[in-house]
Chain A
Amino acid sequence: MADEREFVDDHDHVLHHERDVFLVAWKYYYRKDRKAKFFAHDNRLEMVWTLIPGVAMAFIIVFGLITWNKMTGPASKDALQVEVYSKQFGWIVRYPGADGEFGAYSYNLLGSDNPLGIINSNVIKTKIAELDSSISGLQKQLEENKMLPVMPESYVETLQDKIFRLERHKQRILDIDEIKTTTGKSDWETGADDRISSSEMHLPVGKEVEFIFRSQDVIHSAYMPHFRAQMNTVPGVPTRFKMTPTITTKEMREKLGDDSFDYILLCNKVCGAVHFNMKMKVVVESEEDYAKWLLAQKTFTPKKKEDSKETVPADTAKAPTAMAMVK
Chain B
Amino acid sequence: MGNTPAHAAHDHDHGHAHHHQESWVSKYIFSQDHKMISKQFLITAIFMGIIAVALSVFFRMQLGWPGEKFQVLNFFLGDKFAPDGILAQNAYLALVTIHGTIMVFFVLTGGLSGTFANLLLPLQVGARDMASGFLNMLSYWAFLISSIIMVSSLFVEGGAASGGWTIYPPLSALPQAIPGSGTGMTLWLVSMVFFIASSLLGGLNYVVTIINLRTKGMKMTRLPLTVWALFVTAILGILSFPVLVSAAVLLLMDRSFGTAFYLSDIFIGGEALDVTGGSPLLFQHLFWFLGHPEVYIVLLPALGISSEIISTNSRKPIFGYKAMVGSILAIGFLSFIVWGHHMYVTGMNPFLGSVFVFTTLLIAIPSAVKAFNYITTLYQGNIRYTPGMLFSIGLVSTFVTGGLTGIILADSALDVNVHDTYFVVAHFHIVMGMSAIFGMLAGIYHWYPKMYGRMMNVKLGYAHFWLTLVCGFGVFFPMHFVGMAGAPRRYYQYTEFPFLDHVMDLNPIISVFAIVGGLAQVLFLFNFFHSMKYGQKAVTNPWGSNTLEWTTPVEHLHGNWPGAIPEVHRWAYDYSNPDHEEDFVPQSVPLKPGEHGH
Residues of A within 8 A of B (CB): 25, 28-31, 34-42, 45-46, 49-50, 53-54, 57, 60-61, 64-65, 67-69, 71-72, 87-88, 107-108, 110, 117, 165, 168-169, 172, 213, 216-219, 221, 223, 225-226, 228-232, 234-237, 239-240, 260-262, 264, 266-277, 279
A107 → chain B closest CB, angstroms: 4
B423 → chain A closest CB, angstroms: 11
The 8 listed contacts between A and B (C-beta, < 8 Å) are: A28-B383, A35-B315, A36-B314, A42-B319, A61-B361, A88-B268, A225-B499, A268-B488
Chain A residues with CB under 8 A of B417: 225, 228, 230
Complex contact B488–A36 (CB within 8 A): no
Complex contact B164–A230 (CB within 8 A): no
Query: Could you tell me which residues of chain B, from 163 to 207, have a CB within 8 Å of some CB in chain A?
Result: 163-164, 168, 170-171, 174, 177-178
- Bound-complex Cα distance A14 to B380 (A): 23
Please, which residue of chain B has its CB at the minimum distance from the CB of A264? B499
Residues of B within 8 A of A (CB): 89-90, 93, 163-164, 168, 170-171, 174, 177-178, 263-268, 271-272, 274, 276-281, 314-317, 319-323, 345-347, 350, 353-354, 357-358, 361-362, 364-365, 368-369, 372-373, 376, 378-385, 407, 410-414, 416-417, 419-421, 485-486, 488, 490-494, 496-499, 573, 575-578, 583, 598
- Bound-complex Cα distance A86 to B90 (A): 20
Chain B residues with CB under 8 A of A69: 350, 354
Number of A-B residue pairs, CB cutoff 8 Å, is: 249
Chain A residues with CB under 8 A of B350: 68-69, 72
Chain A residues with CB under 8 A of B357: 61, 64-65, 68
Most buried by B among A68, A218, A267, A271: A218
- Bound-complex Cα distance A60 to B515 (A): 38
Complex contact A272–B494 (CB within 8 A): no
Complex contact A36–B345 (CB within 8 A): no
B99 → chain A closest CB, angstroms: 14
**10 A-B pairs with least C-beta separation:** A236-B264, A225-B486, A239-B347, A72-B350, A37-B380, A276-B491, A36-B576, A35-B576, A36-B382, A67-B413
- Bound-complex Cα distance A169 to B274 (A): 7
Chain A residues with CB under 8 A of B280: 219, 234-237
Please, which residue of chain B has its CB at the minimum distance from the CB of A269? B420
Complex contact A64–B272 (CB within 8 A): no
Q: Main SS of the interface on chain B?
A: loop
Complex contact A276–B419 (CB within 8 A): no
Question: Which single member of B320, B361, B378, B410 contacts A41 (CB below 8 Å)?
Answer: B320
Chain A residues with CB under 8 A of B379: 37, 39
Please, which residue of chain A has its CB at the minimum distance from the CB of B326? A46
Chain B residues with CB under 8 A of A60: 361, 407, 410-411
Known contacts A36-B382, A218-B174, A276-B493; A41/B267 CB under 8 A: no
Complex contact B278–A49 (CB within 8 A): no
Complex contact A223–B486 (CB within 8 A): yes
4 more A-B residue pairs beyond the given contacts A53-B369, A107-B272, A216-B266, with a C-beta to C-beta distance below 8 A: A30-B384, A40-B573, A46-B369, A217-B267
Complex contact A37–B576 (CB within 8 A): yes
Please, which residue of chain A has its CB at the minimum distance from the CB of B490? A270
Please, which residue of chain A has its CB at the minimum distance from the CB of B581? A35
Complex contact B413–A236 (CB within 8 A): no
A270 → chain B closest CB, angstroms: 4
Complex contact B316–A218 (CB within 8 A): no
- Bound-complex Cα distance A264 to B577 (A): 64
Chain B residues with CB under 8 A of A219: 168, 170-171, 280
Known contacts A41-B322, A57-B365, A219-B170; A230/B345 CB under 8 A: yes
A221 → chain B closest CB, angstroms: 6
B358 → chain A closest CB, angstroms: 6
- Bound-complex Cα distance A50 to B364 (A): 10
Question: Which single member of B272, B376, B598 contacts A45 (CB below 8 Å)?
Answer: B376
- Bound-complex Cα distance A272 to B164 (A): 10
Complex contact A37–B381 (CB within 8 A): yes
B222 → chain A closest CB, angstroms: 14
- Bound-complex Cα distance A273 to B410 (A): 30
A318 → chain B closest CB, angstroms: 38
Complex contact B89–A235 (CB within 8 A): no
Question: Which single member of B276, B369, B576 contacts A38 (CB below 8 Å)?
Answer: B576
Question: Which single member of B315, B364, B497 contacts A53 (CB below 8 Å)?
Answer: B364
Complex contact A221–B496 (CB within 8 A): no
B159 → chain A closest CB, angstroms: 11
B405 → chain A closest CB, angstroms: 13
Complex contact A25–B315 (CB within 8 A): no
Question: Which single member of A38, A223, A276 contacts B492 (CB below 8 Å)?
Answer: A276
- Bound-complex Cα distance A50 to B419 (A): 28
Chain B residues with CB under 8 A of A221: 345, 420
- Bound-complex Cα distance A203 to B491 (A): 27
Complex contact A237–B383 (CB within 8 A): no
Question: Which single member of B171, B276, B369 contacts A271 (CB below 8 Å)?
Answer: B171
- Bound-complex Cα distance A261 to B497 (A): 11
Question: Which single member of A35, A71, A274, A279 contacts B382 (CB below 8 Å)?
Answer: A35
Chain A residues with CB under 8 A of B164: 270
- Bound-complex Cα distance A72 to B413 (A): 9
A215 → chain B closest CB, angstroms: 9
Most buried by B among A25, A35, A226: A35
- Bound-complex Cα distance A275 to B492 (A): 8
